[in-house]
Amino acid sequence: MADLSAAGPAALRRSPLAHLTGALRAATVTGPRAVSLAEWPCASMTALRADPDSPAAGRLAKTLGGPLPTRCGDTATARGRTALWLGPDEWLVVSPPGAPSVTDELQEALAGEPGSVVDVSANRTVLELRGPAAREVLEKGCALDLHPRAFGRGQALATRIGPVPVILWQTGDDAYRLLPRSSFADHLAHWLMDAMSEYALPEVP
């Protein structure tokens, strides 16, 4: 048995969908209606609360390297991290897997003023859905209007995909990131794989 006594928390962490890595890969559809699904494992996430007009919000933005988004659905990316607007005084900062957490720096920036900075990395995972058929897959179970006239690159909104509450974030014309609670991730992954399966079949004229 491996000696784990010297391993730190990061080395011992296991993503919510690690057990489905092979199944997600096998569900990939190629061709004109291509679509793929993968986990963005162990992304760093920090929940922010602050009065957007306060000096603290200004310091938080400076720490992130860019302004916090101010409108529903908006996101802002700087230094490889993206702040998603969740409410008038609430944001979720998402960093890629392997990137260092910014939580400690943000707590220092808050400097004891009203608000909160909490590491919520274990609370959610990130699924990436990509390909020409990605929007059609989501439209099978999402109440949002996902047409580009209503929802496009760089926007993120809270919604449901099938029965699962998620934050849906569009990162490209045919690319989406879905942030479910970790406890619902397995169910969502299976729902998406099932929804993808028809695109591997010949299209009926």
- Could you write out the three-class secondary structure of the chain? CCCCCCCCHHHHCCCCCHHHHHHHHHCCECCCCCEEEEEECCCEEEEEECCCCCHHHHHHHHHHCCCCCCCCCCEEEECCEEEEEEECCEEEEEECCCCCCCHHHHHHHHCCCCCEEEECCCCECEEEEECCCHHHHHHCCCCCCCCCCCCCCCCEEEEEECCEEEEEEEEECCEEEEEEEHHHHHHHHHHHHHHHHHHHCCCCC
Q: Has residue 8 got a pLDDT over 60?
A: no
Q: What average pLDDT score do residues 1-19 get?
A: 66
**Whole-prediction pTM value?**
0.91
Single out the residue of 1, 4, 22 nearest to residue 13, CA to CA: 4
When pLDDT is averaged across residues 4-17 and rounded to a whole number, the result is 65
Q: Encode pLDDT of 125-180 as tens digits.
A: 999 999 999 999 999 999 999 999 999 999 999 999 999 999 999 999 999 999 99
Domains of the chain: 18-41+125-198 (3.30.1360.120), 42-122 (3.30.70.1520)
Structural contact between residues 133 and 35, judged by C-beta atoms closer than 8 angstroms: yes
pLDDT at 4 over 90: no
